[in-house]
Chain A
Amino acid sequence: MVDAAAPSSAPTASSTRDLVTADGTPLKVALARATRLSKLRAFLLVAPLLLFILVSFIFPIVQMLWRSIDNPEVTDAIPRTAALLEDWNGEDLPSEQVYAALIEEISADGMRQEIGRMGARLNYEDGGFRSLINKTQRGAGEISESPIQYAMIGFDEAWEKQDTWAELDALAESPGFAAAFPATAEKLRAWETGNSPFAEKTPGADVYETLFEELSGSGNSTDIAQVVSLLGGTDNPIADLIQRTAANAAEIKDRPLRFALGGVDKDWNDTATWKVIKAVSPPVTMSYYLNALDRTYDANGNIVMQPEWKQIYVDLFLKTIYVSLGVTLCCIVLAYPIAHLLAILPAKHSNLLLILVLLPFWTSLLVRTTSWIVLLQSQGVVNDVLFFLGIVTDESRLQLIYNMTGTVIAMTHILLPFMVLPLYSVMKTISPSYLRAARSLGANPLVAFVRVYVPQTVPGIGAGSILVFILAIGYYITPALVGGQDGQLISNFIAYHMQRSLNWGMAAALGTVLLAGVLAMYWLYDRLVGIDNMKLG
């Protein structure tokens, strides 16, 4: 700019350089300095609002977005196990280390709350997890005290039975047994049994360990054969038990904790259980979103559909959209004539009518909704009138409430003003001379209305529709009160997850999907009609 102006201005040397003020500072700098203060002042003036919006609007939304992917429960509760599971191949059961870590972490004293939360989190994935975790928490402490005992019990729960030990105890007196398993025999002899109610049903951990030691000792196959024969051959379940335990002793010794945990619950022997834990370990997850779209991870981490009986959300989203569209349409149909009337009546009458339109705003939402219950219930006013007129019989009274019909009727009523007002404000500005012009050009009243009036109200229809649609899609109280079973919408489930199931991640994911849907609608509207064309009044 300065350069372009230079040739025409005074032909001095300075005219080709940047413009400067009298004291030599460049003009731009001087301007910036002069406006800085006013800019600062302007910013300070809007700062409270900015802060308010940040705190009350942006922050909760960000919080919600974060919550829908936030997944800290497992890493919080069992960080080492989770880290070890990361290297797990997912085909065989995890290594003994993993079991050790899990047992240690799950039985840690200070972590009860975290463990509980992890149980709740895992329960979203599979209904049995909460009890599994609780059970394991209780069992883990004992396991770490005597791993071999619980490994044996885990290998076969017959090792926990009184009968088994009673028989072995009886056998302990026999010289054959004492020869084969001398240490065990000695311990068993020292073990108090009998019919006393205080007697132990199974011996102490040391007996288990001694027996296991002798069972797994090398070159003892003859000893075992002897004991088996003492017990009357392999037909005796206890003989079979001893034989099997001896045969697997190496494995048990190798991985006592795996067997022990399997003893606490068989689910720990299932790779699926571990896969779920591994899948839920990452600190962020998509699983809430998958859930919100009726999908889930299968055992191999692929995204699959939920089982049929759990597929509710997609249908619910669709239903919510349909209902909102339906309500929007009903509102357009009802609001259009009202707004038109408002716009063409003289001010005196239109003001009165406007007050009637606004009246619902001044009554409590709850009152309005419950008054619909009074009107629409099967013994209500509407049905009574229809019955009186002979349109319905006592048996065929219409079910107008506690279903979708009730939801649509009540929501249309409540959202109607949001359609009337933008429409009215647009219609008011349409000069009647347009219709006159159309008539004088040869259009009959209907054609004139449709081709000249209606297109000019499109901005109002658009604004009202967006308003009503967005309000309807998140509507909660009305469906909750008059929707019954089948009139529930997505927001009711969001509320359910917030208040009942306390699955906030799920509530956040559903809310985010809803928000995305609304933004998509908004985008679509912008493409089709143009946001600039919207007139809110």
Chain B
Amino acid sequence: MAETDTPFVQFIEVQKTYDGELLVVKDLNLDIKAGEFLTMLGPSGSGKTTCLMMLAGFETPTEGKVMLGGKELNNVPPHKRGIGMVFQNYALFPHMTVAENLAFPLEVRKMGKSDITAKVQRALDMVELGAFGARRPAQLSGGQQQRVALARALVFEPDLVLMDEPLGALDKNLREQMQYEIKHIHENFGMTVVYVTHDQTEALTMSDRIAVFNDGKIQQLAAPSVLYEKPENAFVAQFIGENNRLRGTVMDDDGTACTVKVEDFTIKALSVNHNGVGSGSTLSLRPERVTLNPDAGSLPNIFDATVEELIYLGDHIRARVSCCGDDEFIVKIPNAHDQSALDKGEKVLVGWSMEDCRALDA
């Protein structure tokens, strides 16, 4: 495998347009380390599949280079790239049995018969489908088909596996189970995985790093916790997790902290990504970082609020309050013993620290 300092997969200033008018991938630079589990996350049409297809070789970049293991890939045909791929609809060959499907990549690599049988069986055992080799894909459930597709992409031991929304067609329970299985397989085999999804929980639970796509651009590339806790811009903050957004104008900024005027309220926030004093900014604040009825002076931002709506969710209670001119302001209250019950219409105080409130672009 590539040395640790050179990335295994590299997109270098890649542009892609299908029709010559609209860039679906804009100026993409992305390094993926060997053995990494990288997820491309983004709304529909943001160019995730296109990136994956350029890596797999089914689309060519209009401009820029895609490198794999230090070699330029642009002119390497797909079948010579040695990249395993799991398709959204699985693309299991319907006229072959499961075992034949798995044997296919080995056969085209001219492997010996006995080798093939052994490897196929091992791959099937890995996904716990050892007894299903003789079945046709149509005779399997969706989850089983998904595992076969996974096994087929792995059976020839590629260094890089691409998965395009592999769990998109499964129901929630199965999806969660498969997430763990894929994660375990990744840990055991240590291959590099590029994973595409538009399900943020999936991205958060599985990935080493997540590249958030929007509008053909990577908005932020970071580990899940960083992405959640420290979104770099308003899109990421809103796309990942629940988020209170307050729009205002930056009054002054000392480099780390800034004050933002939202309607008549002045809020102290962490200066992250706003466009300088006088410009507009969106403040991002996670609902679970809001403290209810804090002691006076304990937090830099304490405001009056009115409870508009209460939703009981078992482990916590979601309270919609109006605060700082925003009546969609959400507060998550842990369902603990010491928490006094709220009533609708009740006047409360809400407060949060300066670090939890991030001043982002407008």
Contact = CB atoms under 8 A, between A and B. Distances in A.
Interface of A: 431, 433-434, 436-445, 447-448, 451-452, 455-456, 458
Interface in B65-117: 77-79, 81-85, 87, 89, 91-95, 104-105, 108-109
A437 B91 contact: yes
B152 interface: yes
Given A433-B87, A448-B79, A442 B95 contact: no
B93 A436 contact: no
Contacts of B89: 431, 433
Contacts of A433: 87, 89, 91
B79 A440 contact: yes
B contact residues, range: 20 to 34
Given A440-B78, A442-B156, 11 more contacts: A434-B91, A436-B91, A439-B57, A440-B83, A440-B84, A443-B104, A443-B105, A444-B77, A447-B108, A451-B104, A452-B93
Q: Which of B82, B84, B91, B105 has the most CB of A within 10 A?
A: B91
Interface of B: 56-58, 77-79, 81-85, 87, 89, 91-95, 104-105, 108-109, 152-153, 156, 162
The secondary structure that dominates the A interface is helix
Nearest to A436: B58
A225 B292 CA distance: 160
Contacts of A447: 108
B95 A439 contact: no
A443 B91 contact: no
A441 B102 CA distance: 10
A441 B105 contact: yes
Contact of B56 (A431, A434, A440): A440
A448 B58 CA distance: 14
B305 to A, nearest CB: 52
Contacts of A438: 93, 104
A441 B95 contact: no
A211 B77 CA distance: 113
A384 B57 CA distance: 49
B108 to A, nearest CB: 4
8 contacts: A431-B91, A437-B85, A438-B104, A439-B58, A440-B56, A440-B78, A442-B105, A451-B104
Contacts of A452: 93
Contact of A434 (B93, B108, B109): B93
A441 B108 CA distance: 8
Contacts of A437: 85, 87, 91-93
A443 B83 contact: no
Pairs of residues from A and B, 7 with the lowest C-beta to C-beta distance, nearest first = A441-B105, A437-B91, A440-B85, A439-B78, A433-B91, A455-B95, A443-B108
A443 B82 CA distance: 10
Nearest to A456: B95
A456 B92 CA distance: 12
Nearest to B81: A440
Contacts of A431: 89, 91
A198 to B, nearest CB: 97
A342 B292 CA distance: 65
B43 to A, nearest CB: 22
